[in-house]
A and B are shown apart, each in its own frame.
Chain A
Amino acid sequence: MSGPSTYQPQNAFLKWFESRLPIMGLVHSSFVAYPTPKNLNYWWTFGGILAFMLGVQIITGIVLVMHYTPHVDMAFNSVEHIMRDVNYGWLLRYLHSNGASMFFIAVYIHMFRGLYYGSYKEPREVLWILGVIIYLLMMATGFLGYTLPWGQMSFWGATVITNFFSAIPLVGESVVTWLWGGYSVGNPTLQRFFSLHYLLPFVIAGVVVLHIWALHMVGQNNPTGVDPQTDKDTVPFSPHATLKDGFMMVCFCIVYAWFVFYVPNYLGHADNYIPANPAVTPTHIVPEWYYLPFYAILRAIPNKLLGVIALFGSIGILAFLPWLDTSRVRSANYRPLFRQFFWIFIAVTVGLGWLGSKPAEGGYVIAARILTFYYFAHFFIILPVLGWVEKTKPLPNSISESILTSKRVTG
């Protein structure tokens, strides 16, 4: 993985350039010759898809900023101006708003892949933690961006989320005033949220570079969880992974395009087409779908401070996953008991997401409390215990062996 590049340019100009800035060698060793496990399935294509979506969001975002006005009196109208007057403005806006949803769909699939195949385990702990950091930055960016159209949901979502910090003992109120830049969410808030929303994607890009660097340091995981032993276990990244990633990107874009062109407002909330009114709170404030599970967890806890702690804790706990899961076997393909708990965990998070969209009343609250308890129990109780008691299936000796002995190949 490390060591001098195998890239040898033939062209005289390229040789001259390469000896001064070996960027082509870097690209060659990272994305052309890079040895990739040859048994990667399509769940491994979402990293590339995420990088692509980050690019899409940045490009559409920069272009949208050419027409947007970050002032409380003009923001909502400027977004309508983009939708109605700007050439292809409707397309750029829908690409950006649905792009955010697609970005989160991809990141959840990417994370669940990591959970299933044990991609967070040794030696990939730092890689995983960098991923958690990227996820947190994405959530912050998504929240900040959603406030910008200055609709009812923008304003009240901003009010609710910033009010989280008032739960901090002693300094809470001062922190909130500092965040607002005033006595409530207002123009100073909108303007600074705009600045930070423009900033954070580039911070994400930087952490993504670290994430890919950490990945290339240790190499990719694969569906067996067994490290490549020989050259026979790997193939060069190009053309195999580039084309597999490219194909999946196209399929992903078909789904993306279906949202953008046919149901562009399906994942949004109609109340955000009402200009922000500081005097009237909408009856059902809900965040965007990708925050719903955590919203359910927040509301399940009856205490204000503990609810906020549970909310941030439910995301933060992911960073400790490499040490909470005590199993020495990586892939759930060889952990039959863990596999069942994995699917239960997926059902629990989807259930929490659904509950997050419901009003916090009656049976919904009880269900949310049960599922919240289970969510934390999965990390604190189930994962550590499973590692000790589980009987795992025997691992193949190598990736090549696993392919040759698989039922698909024989018979």
Chain B
Amino acid sequence: MSSAEPTRRDFLYIATGTAGAVGAAAVAWPLVSQMNPDASTIAAGAPIEVDLAPVAEGQVIKVFWRSKPIFIGHRSKKEIEEAQKVDVATLPDPQPDSARVKQGHDQWLVLIGICTHLGCIPLAHQGEYDGFFCPCHGSQYDSSGRIRRGPAPANLAVPPYEFVSDTKIRIG
């Protein structure tokens, strides 16, 4: 019954089907896109500036950026030395301390305070590595925020930040 040549009906079916598919995609896109962060959420996630002057040596403060807790630690000489002396190859997630701080400002540790295991907030100045300890499942981080022991797979993340002056950073 079907001829070798495509018929007018075939053409109409294909054309209508294509128009319908394009229409369906055009309808679906806004429905999907509306769940992405909206303009006010994006605006609230704009970079923040933090003044470092009040942070004493040895102190770790917490700020929020994009609803995430950010640890800002003023490391002591001991903590810096311990972080730099470690053999990087022995680490579960190898990374030198120099890659996790800004050059010339290695006394400042800026980390996203979310355990890379399942998302709890680790506790500062705790654990065997003079760093952070996550009470949920026992992950231990060192004074550079690198994972040493426990179920967490990766080092504590470093957020994008830069020094706008010696005593002020902009996160984001």
Contacts and interface: CB of A to CB of B under 8 A. Distances in A.
A66 interface: yes
Nearest to A56: B27
B24 interface: no
Contacts of B36: 87
Interface in A2-26: none
A87 B31 contact: no
B40 A92 contact: no
B30 interface: yes
Interface string B11-47: 0000000000000000000110111101111000000
A92 B32 CA distance: 12
Contacts of B33: 87-88
Interface string A49-69: 000000000010001001100
A81 B40 contact: yes
Contacts of B40: 81, 85
B39 A91 contact: no
Residue of B38, B39, B40, B41 most packed against chain A (CB within 10 A): B38
Nearest to A250: B23
A92 B29 CA distance: 12
A89 to B, nearest CB: 6
Nearest to B19: A250
B31 A63 contact: yes
A86 interface: yes
A284 interface: no
Contact of A85 (B30, B35, B38): B38
A101 to B, nearest CB: 19
Nearest to A60: B31
A67 B38 contact: yes
Contact of B30 (A67, A81, A84, A92): A92
Interface range on chain A (Cβ under 8 Å from partner): 10 to 19
B27 to A, nearest CB: 9
Contacts of A67: 34, 38
B70 to A, nearest CB: 25
Interface residues of B, number: 10
A252 to B, nearest CB: 14
A261 to B, nearest CB: 13
A55 B117 CA distance: 42
Contacts of B31: 59, 63, 92
A91 B36 CA distance: 15
Interface in B32-64: 33-36, 38-41
Contacts of A63: 31, 34
B39 A92 contact: no
A35 B38 CA distance: 49
Contact of B39 (A59, A66, A85): A85
A38 B36 CA distance: 48
A63 B40 CA distance: 18
Contacts of A85: 38-41
Contacts of A59: 31
Interface in B109-158: none
A84 B38 CA distance: 9
B35 A89 contact: no
Contacts of A92: 30-31, 34
Interface in A84-112: 84-89, 91-92
Contact of A81 (B34, B35, B38): B38
Interface in A68-90: 81, 84-89
A322 to B, nearest CB: 39
Nearest to A81: B40
A92 B40 CA distance: 17
B67 to A, nearest CB: 16
A85 B43 CA distance: 10
Contacts of B41: 85
A87 B41 CA distance: 11
A246 to B, nearest CB: 9
A199 to B, nearest CB: 22
Contacts of A91: 30
Residue of B31, B34, B38 most packed against chain A (CB within 10 A): B34
A80 to B, nearest CB: 11
Interface string A120-154: 00000000000000000000000000000000000
A89 B35 CA distance: 10
30 contacts: A59-B31, A63-B31, A63-B34, A66-B34, A66-B35, A67-B34, A81-B38, A81-B40, A85-B38, A85-B39, A85-B40, A85-B41, A86-B34, A86-B38, A86-B39, A87-B30, A87-B33, A87-B34, A87-B36, A87-B38, A87-B39, A88-B30, A88-B33, A88-B34, A89-B34, A89-B38, A91-B30, A92-B30, A92-B31, A92-B34
Interface of B: 30-31, 33-36, 38-41
Shortest 4 CB-CB distances between A and B: which pairs? Answer: A88-B30, A85-B39, A85-B40, A85-B38
Given A85-B39, A91-B30, A92-B31, 16 more contacts: A59-B31, A63-B34, A66-B34, A66-B35, A67-B34, A67-B38, A81-B38, A85-B38, A87-B30, A87-B34, A87-B36, A87-B38, A87-B39, A88-B34, A89-B34, A92-B30
